[in-house]
Amino acid sequence: MSTVKYNVCLIDDDKVYQFTSKMILEATQLTSKIITFFNGQEAIDFFLAPENQHIDILPDVIFLDINMPILNGWNFLELFDKIYYSLPKKILIYVVSSSVDDSDMERSKSFACVTDYVIKPINKEKYRLLLSVPG
């Protein structure tokens, strides 16, 4: 029996969080590739590059932090929302934050490309559940 493996993208400026998330995601055995960016601008540049507009290169799932330097999560979503429907595959986006502010949760729902809002930290079981959501 073969398990589906996903390309995952982590966009978060916290190096420790990125490292631990990558380790936990790998432990789920549901990932084939994990790409990481430390701010929204790095990620947008990746998504806009013509050489990355290939179904095998693009992630299936993005875990996006809100508070980052250079280009925060909200600004990333505003830009990503403009290219979302032109990408060759559907990408699930989870806004991931330690904020439990209702206004942040509501704001995330205003973006068509956002699947859900998830509160940090995320454990292995939660990552497994999030990755099992059909695309």
> Per residue in 51-66, pLDDT tens?
888 888 999 999 999 9
Q: pLDDT: is 114 or 1 the higher one?
A: 114
**The one-letter amino acid at 61:** V
Mean per-residue pLDDT, 31-47: 96
Average pLDDT score over the chain: 92
**How many whole angstroms separate alpha carbon 23 and alpha carbon 2?**
21
Mean per-residue pLDDT, 121-132: 92
Please say if the pLDDT value at position 2 is more than 50: no
Please say if the pLDDT value at position 1 is more than 50: no
Q: How large is the angle between the packed helices 73-83 and 40-48, nearest 10 degrees?
A: 10
The reported pTM is 0.93
Q: Where are the domains of the chain?
A: 6-123
Report the relative pairing of strands 61-65 and 6-11 from DSSP bridges: parallel
Task: Write the burial class of residue 57 (CB in 10 Å: 0-12 exposed, 13-18 middle, 19+ buried).
Answer: middle
Look at domain 6-123 and name its CATH class: alpha beta
Please say if the pLDDT value at position 30 is more than 90: yes
